[in-house]
Structure 1
């Protein structure tokens, strides 16, 4: 995919990011066919918007394969935030963990990153595309579905198995046990492949089940020893 075609795709996605109006569909000639092409389109989107990522988020795509994408500082929201569904296209909410790197994540290596803090989080993905992408390449181009990430209180602890539940306020779910260490290692590997990350950057891994939020919903996520976080939708 040459630079002119990448720019054509990126321009449409950048405009959708700014205006909130979804892209009907990219023309076939400007549709990325590989994950690398999709990531290059996403990089051009951020350049056109003059935005710098503060980390990496490893999201699940409709194709089932993890898709790495950027994290933007202004998309990190505090506990209890209210999100407007009018600005979110095809939203899905998932429990997640955000780790803040205590030191640089070098390009080479296979060890677990060292974290200054871990946050329980609710990851709310959405798309700039009118219809959710059906390939990993298109998901990568659309910033891996980056929407907003609501953060709970930070805690210093090592990655471990966590029992995660996501449910509307006033209901209870036992949740499922998730190997958070394995998920964070996968995110770290994706970041290393992209060239590494500096100290203070973040890694985000959505974990467990997801649901489609409705207006009026108050959503609670529980992460065992890591804590809890909530978000509201209007």
Structure 2
């Protein structure tokens, strides 16, 4: 991807973040060829928005691979948040877990991360592209498709599988067992490959359940056994003061 194409796409994404207006389908020369090319665009977007990531958001894919993007503090929401669905283009909801690093992730080290705390969470992925991101490169450029991360109460991760579920109320499906420690270890390895993270940074693993599309008026709850739950509501229109 040549520098001019990178600049044009970064400018379009910056405008989309600031105005909420979608990006129409890209011309072929503006589509990042792969995730690495998209990450270079994302760096320019962060610089243009003057945003400093507070951690890394890792999204599990159906084939159990991971895609990555910066975690942004303004996109973290408290448990019980209400979000205007109209502002969340192609919203996709999944259960997530947020870990607070108790020690830095050194890029030259290995092994599982030291987590000072873990929170049950709900990840709301979205896109700045009108018709959705096409391919891993475009998604990476779009800051990994971050919408919001709604965070539940502080807990501690213990050994053994965690039963995970995420559904619109009043549904309460039986949770499926997940090796959350292994998921955090994979996320930590990804963070190290990208340069590491300091102590106190946040590491999110999203996509713990298959992504689902919310409807106006829905209230969704993610439950992680032993860690608690997180809730989010989707209102039809933005609330006004």
User: Normalised by the size of structure 1, how large is the TM-score?
Assistant: 0.95
Count of residue correspondences: 234
> In structure 2, what is the equivalent of residue 178 of structure 1?
178
* Structure 2 residue 222 is the aligned partner of structure 1 residue 221: yes
- Given the alignment of the two structures, is residue 145 of structure 1 paired with residue 128 of structure 2, yes or no? no
- 8 Å contact from structure 1 (residues 83, 232) kept in 2: yes
Displacement of 1:160 in angstroms is 4.2
Does residue 114 in structure 1 map to residue 114 in structure 2?
Answer: yes
- How big is the shift at 1:28? 1.6
Cα displacement (A) at 1:4:
2.2
Question: What is the alpha-carbon distance in structure 1 between the residues aligned to residue 75 and residue 2 of structure 2?
Answer: 30
> Structure 1 residues 170, 63: closer, same or farther in 2, change over 3 A?
closer
Is the CA contact (8 Å cut-off) linking 1:61 and 1:136 kept in structure 2? no
| Structure 1, unaligned runs of 5 or more | none
Task: Report if aligned partners of 2:60, 2:205 keep a CA contact under 8 Å in 1.
Answer: no
**How many angstroms apart in 1 are the aligned matches of 2:186 and 2:231?**
26
Alignment of 1:91-170 (within 5 A): 91-158=91-158, 160-170=160-170
CA RMSD across the alignment: 1.6
2:211 equivalent in structure 1: 210
Whether contact under 8 Å (1:99, 1:117) holds in the other structure is yes
Shift of 1:47: 0.5
1:2 Cα deviation after fit? 2.7
Shift of 1:134: 3.0
Is residue 61–residue 139 contact of structure 1 (8 Å, CA) maintained in 2?
no
Normalising to structure 2: TM-score of the pair? 0.92
1:115: how far off?
Answer: 0.9
Question: Corresponding residue for 2:46?
Answer: 46
Partner of 1:4: 4
SS at match of 2:172: coil
Distance 2:121 2:57 in 1: 12
* Structure 2 gap segments, 5+ residues each: 236-241
Question: What's the secondary structure of 2:211's corresponding residue?
Answer: strand
Rounded Cα–Cα distance in structure 1 between residues aligned with 2:24 and 2:61 = 19
- Superposed CA offset, 1:136-174 (max 9, x none): 111111111100000000112346421011122222200
CA contact (8 A) 1:101 1:115 kept: yes
What secondary structure does 2:58 align onto? Answer: strand
